[in-house]
């Protein structure tokens, strides 16, 4: 089945009901028929009906759907994207292991690699996403962690190349697929072992749910689940229901996000106030060929650099009416952020420069507004600063 049909007719799971929509299983606990049945279910991995930290019928529905969408054997839902990343990374590592990560990963993932794992005796190093990852490998490398497309200039990592390097050496590969979504990119089909998501973003799509997901081989998910039981970052049944509801329209929404972002990127390139536009599906993006080879759409994410430094960025952000200035991405409304200000505390000027974060850079998460209205609004905002 194509993605859109799958989203409307997901796998129904062991606890299917006759309801056309899905119920919310707002219960911590599920009754067992006997002491023996209780004992048996307590030993099951991801039991749908036992105790909600172990599993929940609502989680099971979303997990089955996401596994199918990403082309993986199994999935695990978590309470946030960071809970998914933390669980997926840490559950497979031990003291003395080495993680090779891409440099420009999501900020809290970078904190995990730079500050937390080293305290536990796990070595971490990071490389620019455009290099061949073989150069950073060590004899104890157990995990290569990438994110594509990634902040702030929508840089891409060659997923097939990473998978090839790792497979030859028995190293696990993990990709954060939050920006792309399985509608635009399916890393598992390109040879990556595990996908992680901030389902807070496009998967839920309505700026009202915090959630995360891990998708991968059954064996990996089993191990992650055992860790997750102890870490306890469990998705609430209501948020799992909201996520399923959001997923019904994922394909429709992502196609509109793709279209709006491409139209916006093309328009922005023509405006004299704009110095540079970063969008993988623009022919001028330095990795455009790679984008076409591993993605079917450019996503709703882009960034632009303005002439006139930070002051121009501030004036532009205040002048847009449809682009709201708020953290997050992937929802129905267009959101803007100024990465240099957002990362002023956590990154030095040198680190920001190494990640191409200039003072005039503005990131745009294109929403679902009408394309003409969006372009008209950006046009008036840019005209006002020229």
Site residues for ligand PLP per CB under 6 A: 80-82, 106, 147, 176, 178-179, 198, 200, 210, 212
Task: Report the nearest approach of ligand PLP to the CB of residue 179 (Å).
Answer: 6
324: exposed, middle or buried (Cβ count in 10 Å: 0-12, 13-18, 19+): middle
Known active-site residue 145: no
Of the two residues 287 and 312, which places its CB atom closer to ligand PLP in the complex? 287
Task: Report the nearest approach of ligand PLP to the CB of residue 60 (Å).
Answer: 21
Helix (H) or strand (E) holding 126, with range, is strand 123-127
Known active-site residue 267: no
Helix (H) or strand (E) holding 269, with range, is helix 250-270
DSSP strand pairing (141-147 vs 172-176)? parallel
Helix (H) or strand (E) holding 123, with range, is strand 123-127
Of the two residues 81 and 300, which places its CB atom closer to ligand PLP in the complex? 81
Q: Residue written as tokens 């062991």?
A: 14
Tokens of 362: 């503005």
Interatomic CA distance for residues 26 and 22, integer angstroms: 12
Q: Name the catalytic one among 142, 186, 201, 363.
A: 201
Of the two residues 141 and 181, which places its CB atom closer to ligand PLP in the complex? 181
Cβ-closest position to ligand PLP: 81
Known active-site residue 142: no
Task: Report the nearest approach of ligand PLP to the CB of residue 86 (Å).
Answer: 9
With beta carbons less than 8 A apart as the criterion, state whether 224 and 76 touch: yes
Interatomic CA distance for residues 382 and 71, integer angstroms: 42
Sign of CA dihedral 87, 71, 301, 236: negative
Nearest to 210 by CA among 246, 263, 180, 186: 246
Q: Name the catalytic one among 158, 176, 193, 359.
A: 176
Task: Report the nearest approach of ligand PLP to the CB of residue 176 (Å).
Answer: 5
Of the two residues 106 and 279, which places its CB atom closer to ligand PLP in the complex? 106
Task: Report the nearest approach of ligand PLP to the CB of residue 41 (Å).
Answer: 30
Helix (H) or strand (E) holding 41, with range, is helix 35-42
Of the two residues 127 and 342, which places its CB atom closer to ligand PLP in the complex? 342
Category of 181 on φ-ψ map: left (φ > 0), alpha (ψ -120 to 50) or beta? left
Task: Report the nearest approach of ligand PLP to the CB of residue 235 (Å).
Answer: 11
Of the two residues 106 and 378, which places its CB atom closer to ligand PLP in the complex? 106
Q: Name the catalytic one among 51, 53, 222, 310.
A: 53
Q: Name the catalytic one among 106, 145, 267, 279.
A: 106
With beta carbons less than 8 A apart as the criterion, state whether 319 and 312 touch: no
- Write the DSSP symbol of residue 21: S
Task: Report the nearest approach of ligand PLP to the CB of residue 18 (Å).
Answer: 33
DSSP string computed for 315-357:
HHHHH-SSSEE-S--SSSS-EEE-HHHHTTTTS-HHHHHHTT-
Of the two residues 77 and 188, which places its CB atom closer to ligand PLP in the complex? 77
With beta carbons less than 8 A apart as the criterion, state whether 212 and 82 touch: yes
Interatomic CA distance for residues 49 and 369, integer angstroms: 40
State the catalytic residues.
Answer: 53, 106, 176, 201
């Amino acid at each position: 089945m194509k993605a859109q049909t799958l989203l409307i007719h997901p796998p129904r799971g062991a606890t299917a009901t006759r309801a056309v929509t899905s119920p919310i299983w707002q219960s911590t606990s599920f009754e067992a028929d006997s002491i023996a049945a209780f004992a048996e279910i307590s030993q099951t991995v991801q039991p749908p009906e036992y105790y909600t930290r172990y599993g929940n019928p609502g989680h099971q529905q979303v997990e089955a759907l996401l596994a199918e969408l990403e082309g993986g054997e199994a999935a695990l839902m978590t309470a946030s994207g960071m809970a998914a990343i933390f669980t997926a990374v840490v559950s497979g590592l031990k003291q003395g292991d080495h993680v090779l990560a891409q440099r420009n990963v999501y900020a809290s993932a970078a904190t995990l690699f730079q500050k937390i794992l080293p305290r536990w005796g796990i070595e971490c190093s990071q490389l620019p996403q455009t290099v061949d990852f073989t150069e950073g490998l060590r004899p104890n490398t157990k995990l290569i962690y990438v994110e594509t497309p990634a902040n702030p200039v929508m840089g891409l990592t060659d997923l097939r190349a990473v998978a090839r390097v790792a497979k030859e050496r028995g190293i696990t590969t993990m990709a954060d697929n939050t920006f792309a979504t399985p509608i635009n990119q399916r890393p598992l089909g390109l040879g990556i072992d595990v996908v992680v998501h901030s389902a807070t973003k496009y998967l839920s799509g309505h700026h009202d749910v915090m959630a995360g997901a891990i998708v991968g081989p059954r064996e990996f998910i089993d191990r992650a689940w055992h860790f997750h039981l102890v870490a306890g970052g469990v998705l609430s049944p209501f948020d799992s229901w909201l996520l399923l509801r959001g997923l019904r329209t994922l394909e429709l929404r992502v196609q509109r996000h793709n279209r709006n972002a491409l139209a916006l990127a093309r328009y922005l390139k023509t405006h004299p106030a704009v110095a540079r536009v970063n969008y993988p599906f623009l022919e001028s993006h330095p990795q455009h060929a790679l984008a076409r080879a591993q993605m079917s759409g450019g996503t709703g994410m882009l960034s632009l650099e303005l002439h006139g430094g930070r002051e121009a960025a501030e004036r532009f952000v205040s002048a847009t009416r449809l682009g709201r200035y708020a953290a997050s991405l992937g929802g129905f409304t267009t959101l803007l952020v100024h990465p240099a200000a957002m990362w002023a505390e956590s990154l030095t000027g040198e680190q920001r420069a190494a990640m191409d974060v200039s003072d005039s850079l503005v990131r745009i998460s294109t929403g679902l507004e009408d394309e003409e209205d969006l372009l008209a609004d950006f046009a008036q905002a840019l005209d006002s600063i020229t």
